[in-house]
């Protein structure tokens, strides 16, 4: 037995989650808490983006996509999750002397979920899912950065997911449908990582051919009394708001060049995958408008600070008085 009074030890036996009497007394009550999509099929969720949040980094950005479903007062559990991602850029900086010569910039991407980012607590060591997201992110950014301007140099992009989009509704965990582990939420996470990493790279002053943004589109199948098995294409899907997702697609899109630097499709897209890709592109274009406005405001504020500093320095020179002995 541990006699350390400064430490709160865990209970010796296992613990179980409490069961509320209403869920046992009313079997259909749990389904009444299921969120539904209140947005249109082509309407995107609101985006909050801010740059220069890490002073020690060359560039940084923070992205947040709030929940579109209003909270209910009958339960303390949030109906849908909120996407919160931070990105920081270190570099460009010279490579070690022992490293071989590289004619272009070496890009390194790291994607890590915070331990509290999802309902199931994640470990501190990167798993296969986080490595796959890092590879997708590196592929999306590699076609954007003009690496020939930094020979024998490297840049590191670190993305931390503070809160990730869930794969489905929490009430479907362990049941059929969008159960936990289906992977639909990872596409939204990848699109958010691409957008916030692009904003951080631009904030760092690294030359790029364009601003790349991520977008997601999905094909959902809803079963209701009026329309049986109705199939619809939705932009910016929230997995918790749909009972069944047939397929989804995430893209990294360059609007000015009309190029796709990365694409990830999941599920059965049917005989017309181009329509799903086109929907993901429209979602990426919608995010681009927000990113451009935020970057423009950040650049104007930065240049205004430099202008004010120059004017104050000039004023001090004018106000100086020469002392004549």
Q: In what helix (H) or strand (E) does residue 106 lie, and over which residues does it extend? A: strand 106-113
Q: Give the model's pLDDT for residue 228.
A: 56
Here the tokens at position 38 are 């209140």
Q: How far is CA 127 from CA 119, 133, 134, in A?
A: 16, 10, 11
pLDDT digits (tens, 9 = 90+) for 15-46: 777 666 676 677 777 777 778 888 888 889 99
Of 34 and 200, the structure prediction assigns the larger pLDDT to 200
**213 pLDDT higher than 70:** yes
Q: Token pair of 104, please?
A: 């272009």
For the stretch 25-62, what's the b/e string if a residue is b when 16 or more beta carbons lie within 10 angstroms of its beta carbon?
eeeeebeeeebebebeeeebbebebbbbebeebbbbbb
Name residues whose C-beta falls within 8 Å of residue 36's C-beta, 6 or more positions apart in sequence.
Answer: 69, 241
Q: What is the pLDDT of residues 235-253, one digit of tens each?
A: 998 888 888 888 999 999 9
pLDDT at 13: 72
pTM of the model: 0.82
The residue with greater pLDDT, 156 or 233, is 156
């Amino acid at each position: 037995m541990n006699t350390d009074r400064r430490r709160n030890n865990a209970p010796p036996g296992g613990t179980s989650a409490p069961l509320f009497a209403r869920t046992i007394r009313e079997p259909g009550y749990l389904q009444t808490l299921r969120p539904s999509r209140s947005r249109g099929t082509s309407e995107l969720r609101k985006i909050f983006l801010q740059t220069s949040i890490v002073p020690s980094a060359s560039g940084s950005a923070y992205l947040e996509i709030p929940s579109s479903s209003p909270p209910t007062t009958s339960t303390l559990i949030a109906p849908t999750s909120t996407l919160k991602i931070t990105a920081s850029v270190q570099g460009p900086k010279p490579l070690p002397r022992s490293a071989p010569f590289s004619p272009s910039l070496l890009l390194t991407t790291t994607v890590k979920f915070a331990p509290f980012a999802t309902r199931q607590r994640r470990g501190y060591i990167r798993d296969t899912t986080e490595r796959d997201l890092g590879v997708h992110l590196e592929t999306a950014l590699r076609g954007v950065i003009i690496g020939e301007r930094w020979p024998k140099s490297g840049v590191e992009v670190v993305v931390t997911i503070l809160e990730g989009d869930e794969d489905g509704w929490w009430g479907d965990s362990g049941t059929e449908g969008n159960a936990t582990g289906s992977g639909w939420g990872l596409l939204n996470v990848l699109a958010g990582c691409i957008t916030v990493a692009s904003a951080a790279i631009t904030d760092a002053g690294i030359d790029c051919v364009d601003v790349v943004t991520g977008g997601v589109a999905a094909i959902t199948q809803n079963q209701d009394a009026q329309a049986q098995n109705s199939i619809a294409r939705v932009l910016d899907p929230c997995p918790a708001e749909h009972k069944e997702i047939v397929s989804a697609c995430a893209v990294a899109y360059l609007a000015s060049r009309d190029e796709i630097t990365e694409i990830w499709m999941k599920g059965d897209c049917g005989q017309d995958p181009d329509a799903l890709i086109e929907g993901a592109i429209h979602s990426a274009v919608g995010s681009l408008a927000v990113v451009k406005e935020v970057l423009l405001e950040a650049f104007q504020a930065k240049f205004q600070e430099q202008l004010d500093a120059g004017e104050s320095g000039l004023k001090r020179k004018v106000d100086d008085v020469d002392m004549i002995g």
